Each structure stands twice: as C-alpha cells, then as structure tokens.
Structure 1
Amino acid sequence: MAHDDLIKSILTGSKTVAVVGISDKLGRPSLTVASYLKDHGFDVLPVNPNLSSVAHVPCYPDLKSLPVTPDLVVIFRKASDIPDVVREAVATAVPRVWIQEGIVSEEGYRMAEIAGMAVIMDKCIMKEHARLTREGHLAKEHH
C-alpha cells in the first residue's frame, strides 16, 4: 500500500483514538495534536499514568484501563518506551498504531507489523491529516 493510502486508511478507519503520553501543558505537541483530532471529529482518550484528567476529560493510566478498545493509538513517548506501548496495544487488540513525528523505534514498528497492525512511524498525525484534507483526500470533518 502506498504511504498516503496507508495514512488515509488509518485516518478514515479510526474514530476512537487513544493518545499515549499526552501532556496537560499548553503548547506541548501531544495536547495540540489531541485537541486537533477532537476538533476534527475523533473521540480522544487521554492516556498518561501521571494525570487524572486532561482538558476536563478523564485520563487513563494505560491502554488496558480504557473503557473501550480504541481504533488507533497515537504514541508520544520516548523511543525506548515504544515496544512496551506496542505490546500493550497488541494485548488489547488495537488495530492501528501511530508513532509520532521524531520518534523512531524499529523494534516497536516491527512488533506492530508482525501483529498485523497498520503502523506509521516518525510522522505527525495532525500534519498528515491537515495535508490530506487540504489536498482533498479526506473529508473536512471525520465521522
């Protein structure tokens, strides 16, 4: 599958998105991206064991604590943490993983691929969504 086709299929096939490693600090990329996704029709589930809520939304300590299985996990963690997050995503039957821009974990990427997940690494989901929407490949609002 061509890269844009994979990105498009991940975005159009996802409604519920868990953001692992979200911050509650304004200006942090994880919070900016989560807000963008929410504004574009995605149901966002914050995941960070150190926070009880983010923007008045309950925050969960890990993927297995979520009330539903997300369609997509967007990961904002350091590269060395990626394999553990992917393992947890596999264990909770999440079908798609997005490893954010600037984060590279070949081990985590391979684990996701071997598990049959759709996976993107080292790209910003917000930038890719905005670009594909601008180019007319995605509808303005995601439903």
Structure 2
Amino acid sequence: MTDLISLLKHPDTTIAIVGATDNPAKFGNIIYKDLKRKGFRLFPVNPNKKMVEHDSVYPSLSEIPEKPTIVDFVVPPEVTLKILKQCLDLGLMNVWLQPGTTTPAVIDFLQQNRFNYLTACIMVESRFISK
C-alpha cells in the first residue's frame, strides 16, 4: 500500500475534498483553503454547493473530470460510508478521513474492501509540504 503522507509530496497529486463548503466556520472550508494555499490541486465535492473559494464544485465524485489521487472526507460518518461505496465503485482507493468522519462501521468497510486509508488531519500532516 502507498503511504498517503508520501503522496502529498508528489507534484501531480490531486485531492477531492468531500464536504467542501463556502461556510468559513466549517472544516470543509478551513481544510479546503489550507490545502489550496499550500498549492495542492483540489476538486471540491458537495451536491449542495456551486462554488467554494471561487472554484466550481462537483456534485459527486463521478463528475470529477479526472481520477483524484486522494479522496479526503470532511462529512459525518453516515455520509462517509455512503461516499466510500461510490469510491469503491469508481476505483478510488486512497482515502483520507478527517477526525469525526468515522465509526466502527466505516473502519470495517475500509478494511473489508482493502482501501488504502489514513485517519488523521490532513492539515497537520501537510503542514511542511507546499507545491
């Protein structure tokens, strides 16, 4: 399995942010702005938003024009599990789960389906990386 933290160092790494939002009080916005400021190429995903930080938002992972390297989750656990099923169908096996996005059922699904995953804050793990 590929180390997700090492993937952050690759210049061609792209990240889909599931739960990206324009609400500055939410982590979906804080994380999006942090990764964008660091120079990562991002795909914001949220079926309820049109724009995040002046970027067009994709309503689902299947509508992103290219396969993202990492799918980062900033949504409640029940949404995480639903979107993980889409990841499996799309072959998106590198997933990053922010604090608060998991339950034992989520972890079981990840392990049973052999996802390459990390449960940690991507802002912390990327703090010394810029593109």
Do both share a fold (TM > 0.5)? yes
Runs of 5+ consecutive residues of structure 1 not aligned to the other structure? 134-139
Higher relative contact order (CA 8 A, sep 6+): 2
Report the counterpart of residue 130 of structure 2 in structure 1.
Answer: 141
Report the counterpart of residue 11 of structure 1 in structure 2.
Answer: 8
Report the counterpart of residue 36 of structure 1 in structure 2.
Answer: 34
Whose helix fraction is larger, Structure 1's or Structure 2's?
Answer: 1
Report the counterpart of residue 137 of structure 1 in structure 2.
Answer: none
Q: Once the two structures are aligned, what percentage of the paired residues are identical?
A: 25
Indicate conservation of the 8 Å contact 1:90/1:112, yes or no: no
Q: Tell me: CA distance 1:12–1:113, structure 2 relative to 1, closer, same or farther (3 Å).
A: farther
1:77-115: per-residue Cα shift (whole Å, max 9, x none)?
Answer: 111122111111111111311111122222223323333
Report the counterpart of residue 125 of structure 1 in structure 2.
Answer: 122
How many residues align? The count is 130
Which amino acid in the other structure matches residue 85 of structure 1? I
Q: CA deviation at 1:31?
A: 1.1
- Separation of aligned partners in 2, 1:41 and 1:94: 22
Q: What does 1:59-138 align with in structure 2 at a 5 Å threshold? A: 59-121=57-119, 123-130=120-127, 133=128
Indicate conservation of the 8 Å contact 2:14/2:40, yes or no: yes
How large is the Cα RMSD of the aligned pairs? Answer: 2.1
Runs of 5+ consecutive residues of structure 2 not aligned to the other structure? none
TM-score by length of 2: 0.86
Q: Tell me: CA distance 1:120–1:52, structure 2 relative to 1, closer, same or farther (3 Å).
A: same
- Separation of aligned partners in 1, 2:62 and 2:18: 12
Runs of 4+ in structure 1 off by over 4 angstroms are none
